[in-house]
Amino acid sequence: MRDSETLLIPGPVSVGAEVLAALSRPVSAHYGDDWVVMYRRLTSSLARIFGTEGDVLPLFGPGTAALEACLASTLAQGDEVLVATNGLFGRRIAEVARRLNLAVHTITTEGYDPVRPQHLAQAMRDHPGVRAFAVVHHETSLGLLNPVQELCTMARRYGLLTIVDAVASLGGVPLEMDAWGIDLCVGVANKCLGAPVGVAPVAVGERAWAAVDDSRQKQAGWYLNLATWRRFDREWGAWHPSPTTMPTNSVVALAVAVEGVMARGLDAHHARFAQAAARVRDGLRELDFEMVIPEEHASPMTTAVWGRKGMDVPDYLEWMRSERHLRLGSALGDLAGRAFRVGHMGRAADPDVQDAYLRGTADYVALKL
């Protein structure tokens, strides 16, 4: 472990000093008057970031746990679910769904393309019995944005329940859960919101609650069951809004980070990522690197970059780490060894970090290529 390493990976992300300070406060209880005031303020700010009038439940766990809770709380054994799997995190959702004994159909795309409405329309012709549609907004394995607005609006017209993995996009790009027809939406504290790992907020709309409440036997147990979280929020909400002990320091640090986002303004917060991405991409192009994903559907939070001809990508990543204390992301799947990923979230959105990164890369190129 290196103390001073700065993370330019697409998660986890290095957080700012104010947020770190909140983490070092004495541990507080996850109940009581002061807690509830902070908690309500946090969940209502998060609801604004999700773009919803619905409920926000800050689950304690990784983003994957929250996604599992969404599938398991609303779907019954054998239900058909359509999952957009044009990247590692889409395939992860399909895997979770299979483990829950759901009947999974997938949509894949050619190359590194987003999933488009025509793919959804074709899948619905092939599988008319589908009940739910799940899609990743920012597919972090590629740095690609799927057009969730078009996809979920269309899925709604088919009467599907829509589940969006916004783990790496919540707070990073515009997201309008209610207006876009999203029924369940999952984020995490540590990516675009710049807070510590530990909390995975889930936003739940009315149609999702109707699915939770219909008479069919769902796959969820107790903890990863949205009905449990709602029960505590409603019945114990005046003093103990969560079903279990919470990582109070992580929740308080998330509240500090979210306050910062709201004070800065959501648009200005989004603009930081876009500026960081543009700067890094321009700098890399000047050094003759090419981006994997075309600009029109590239995400501003992560950039996947092809290694230059003859370049030893693992050596570059190791050199940046040992010589410059900057940790970059390796590429996944069939990009492994041929490309690398640069995250623009957390401290990586700060210009001093981008300068250090581009300088380091220029030095590496001069030295080794």
Q: Interface with ligand PLP by CB under 6 A: which residues?
A: 11, 62-64, 89, 136, 138, 140, 165, 167-168, 188
Q: Residue 83 is inside which H or E element, if any?
A: strand 80-84
CB-nearer residue toward ligand PLP: 73 or 140: 140
Nearest distance in Å: CB 11, ligand PLP: 4
CB of 34 to ligand PLP, least distance (A): 28
Between residues 124 and 349, which has the closer beta carbon with respect to ligand PLP?
Answer: 349
In degrees, to the nearest 5, what angle opens at C-alpha 81 toward C-alphas 77 and 83?
A: 140
CA gap 12, 323 in Å, rounded: 21
Question: Among residues 136 and 155, whose Cβ is nearest to ligand PLP?
Answer: 136
CB nearer ligand PLP, residue 140 or residue 242: 140
**Distances from the Cα of 354 to the Cαs of 277, 295, 350, 361, in angstroms?**
9, 19, 7, 11
User: Cβ 189 to ligand PLP, closest distance in Å?
Assistant: 9
Smallest separation (angstroms) from ligand PLP to the CB of 166: 8
- The token pair at 245 is 């002990």
| Residue nearer to ligand PLP on the CB measure, 63 or 241 | 63
- Taking the least distance from each CB to ligand PLP, the nearer of 140 and 228 is 140
For Cα atoms 155, 158, 160, give the angle at the middle one, nearest 5 degrees.
60
Amino acid, single-letter form, for residue 332: L
Rounded least distance, CB 243 to ligand PLP, Å: 20
In whole angstroms, the minimum distance from the beta carbon of 63 to ligand PLP comes to: 3
Phi, psi of 161 (to 5 degrees): -80, 130
- Which secondary structure element, helix H or strand E, spans residue 133, and what is its range? strand 132-136
Q: Calculate ∠ Cα 176-179-181, nearest 5°.
A: 100
Cβ-contact 127, 289 below 8 angstroms: no
User: In this structure, is the dihedral angle defined by the CA atoms of residues 205, 250, 275 and 3, taken in order, positive or negative?
Assistant: negative
